Amino acid sequence: MLELLNGFVVELRNAGLPVSLTENLDAMEAVQHIPIEDREAFKYALGATLIKNHAHWRSFETVFEVYFSLRGPEYKLVSGDDDTDIDELWREMQEQQRQQGDGGAGGLDNLTPEEIAQLLLQALMNGDQAMMRAMAKQSVQRFAGMEPGRPVGGTYYLYRTLRNLDLEGMLEKLMDATREQVEGDLTPLEERLEREEYEDRIDKFKGEVEAEIRRRLVADRGAEAMAKTLRKPLPEDVEFMHASRDEMVALKKALYPLTRKLAARLARKRRHGRKGPLDFRNTVRHSLSYGGVPAEPKFKYPRPAKPELVVVADISGSVAAFARFTLMLVYAIQNQFSKVRSFVFIDGIDEVTDYFRATEDITEAIHRVNTEADVVWVDGHSDYGHAFEVFWERYGKDVGPKSTVLLLGDARNNYHASQSWVVKEMQHKARHVYWLNPEPRSYWNTGDSIVGEYGTFTDGVFECRNLRQLEGFVEKLA
């Protein structure tokens, strides 16, 4: 047990979760009070002692599933027919079917795929948890085609299983069945609610399938190897450029609380600045109540000027996600700046400030940026040189000594002319010019990347591969 827990904590640390020594000790003490058989309580006991940030919960859960997946009564592996759970259910189903006059045939293993689909449909329809779990086990056994020792990831098996089950079609069938049941039409509201309910159940079923595959893989390869392949970065460490769709959703979710925290921190920083020089007028005015003795000196509070921000972002395919997140972040805390103007480009450039001004909803504004902004000039491949040139021609006069210019992009210029004189001019006129690059530092200046050439004329080039780095930069800026 102790060993298992130790391995577990080591794996958590490997996954990037900060687990301190005291927390480890607490966990050890906690598990003495909670029996491991009570899996949910056990999980929460470990979670409460080891994980102190909700964003880390998902990673924790994955590791937990891997390390403790082979324990607990209802989590046994299906090894042949000795699983009473399934047998019982099967007998029940048989009863039902006999009543319906269909007549069942043999054990669960002898079912045809059509019958499995039918059973699953019923399970989903009734929201029958136990049956859903049994079906998940059965489908994995049947469809995933898992072979011991084969070095493929869990996603491959998941894909194979789900392809055979056709869950999309299942949803429609469920909806049809419901419509029949109700007699007459569903109102749109009811329709929507029913659909969501079924989607939720199907998601749960998918989760069961995933868990089943994971259990089998762990049994095959051992917990440590599995944990390594399943290790996922924390949301704030996910790279913008390589984020999967799920990770993007997680990132978006992580962004909002982050901006709130950032705004609170910046506002606080502004307010709690050091005391400034003596405010003579104020001191004299207050001295009147002491008969002219300046007993209570008053100080001027420094009010650091809020910077004016000009964001110029490349939104071509490769770096679009990064630009989107940066714009979202900047606009979410825009009250920390006196003015924000934003421009997006691929090879042509367009101002998008109005999109953000028109609506309170940042997501919608971003959507408009992606669909409406006129950023293609010739062929829709990044051309930093041309974009910068046009920017300077049209908007250059608006860049003044108060403005801070942020240039976002990977500087992969497709071997066009760099026109880096624009950046040089910017640096002359603006207060600061910064370049944020979403690529890892080691890729800079390789291939058609010319970030070095632009970089010489800026006040700093920063690597911004994930939310953590982006947050750090923005905090420094405001």
Partner 1 sequence: MTTTDRGIPVAGATPNRFETVQGVREALREVQYLADDGIAGVAFLADRLGKPILIEGPAGTGKTQLAKSIAEILDARLIRLQCYEGLDESKALYEWNYKKQLLRIQTERGAEGSEEWTEVRDDIFSDEFLLTRPLLEAITADEPVVLLIDEVDRVEVETEALLLEILSDYQVSIPELGTIVAKQIPLVFLTSNNTRELSEALKRRCLYLHVDYPQLDREREIVLAKVPGITESLADQVARIVRSIRQLDLKKAPSVSETLDWARTLMLLNIDTIDEQTAKETLNILLKYQTDITKAAKELTVED
Q: By the criterion CB under 8 A, which residues form the site for partner 1? A: 18, 20, 22-23, 25-26, 29-30, 33-34, 38, 40-41, 44-45, 47-49, 51-54, 57, 187-189, 191-193, 196-197, 200, 257, 260-261, 264-265, 268, 272, 360-361, 363
CB of 452 to partner 1, least distance (A): 35
Q: Which is nearer to partner 1, 81 or 203 (CB)?
A: 203
Of the pair 49, 458, the CB lying nearest partner 1 is at 49
Tell me how long the chain is: 478
Determine the Cα–Cα distance for residues 371 and 135; give it in Å rounded to an integer: 43
Least Å distance between CB 307 and partner 1? 22
CA distance 314 to 321: 10
As measured in angstroms, the least distance from the Cβ of 151 to partner 1 is 36
The CB-of-269 to partner 1 minimum distance in angstroms stands at 11
The distance of closest approach from Cβ of residue 34 to partner 1 in the complex, given in angstroms and rounded to an integer, is: 7
* E strand residue ranges, 223-360: 308-314, 339-345, 349-351
The nearer residue to partner 1, 253 or 303, going by C-beta atoms, is: 253
CB nearer partner 1, residue 272 or residue 274: 272
CA 233, CA 235: separation in Å to the nearest integer?
6
Rounded to whole angstroms, the Cα distance separating 224 from 226 reads: 5
Closest approach, Cβ 76 to partner 1, in A, equals: 21
> How many Cβ atoms from other residues are within 10 Å of residue 147's Cβ?
9
188 CB-near residues (< 8 Å, 6+ apart): none
Q: Which is nearer to partner 1, 56 or 386 (CB)?
A: 56
Burial 386-417 (b: 16+ CB within 10 A, else e): bbbbbbbeeeeeebeeebbbbbbbbbbbeebe
Amino acid (1-letter code) at residue 170: M
**CB nearer to partner 1: pick between 186 and 219:** 186
CB nearer partner 1, residue 32 or residue 112: 32
- How many other CB atoms are there within 10 angstroms of residue 233's CB atom? 15
Q: In terms of CB distance, is 48 or 152 closer to partner 1?
A: 48
Smallest gap from Cβ 39 to partner 1, in A, equals 9
Q: Residue 136 Cβ, how far from partner 1 at the closest point, in Å? A: 19
- Token pair recorded at residue 414: 């497709």
Instruction: Identify the CA nearest to 386 among candidates 419, 421, 362.
Output: 419
Nearer to partner 1, 264 or 295 (CB): 264
The CA-based diameter of the chain, rounded to the nearest angstrom, is 105
Alpha-carbon radius of gyration of the chain: 30
Q: Residues near 339 by Cβ (< 8 Å), separated by ≥ 6?
A: 308, 309
Minimum CB–partner distance for residue 188 and partner 1 (Å): 4
Q: How far apart are CA 424 and CA 457, in angstroms?
A: 5
Contact 126, 93 (CB under 8 A): no
CA distance 124 to 142: 19
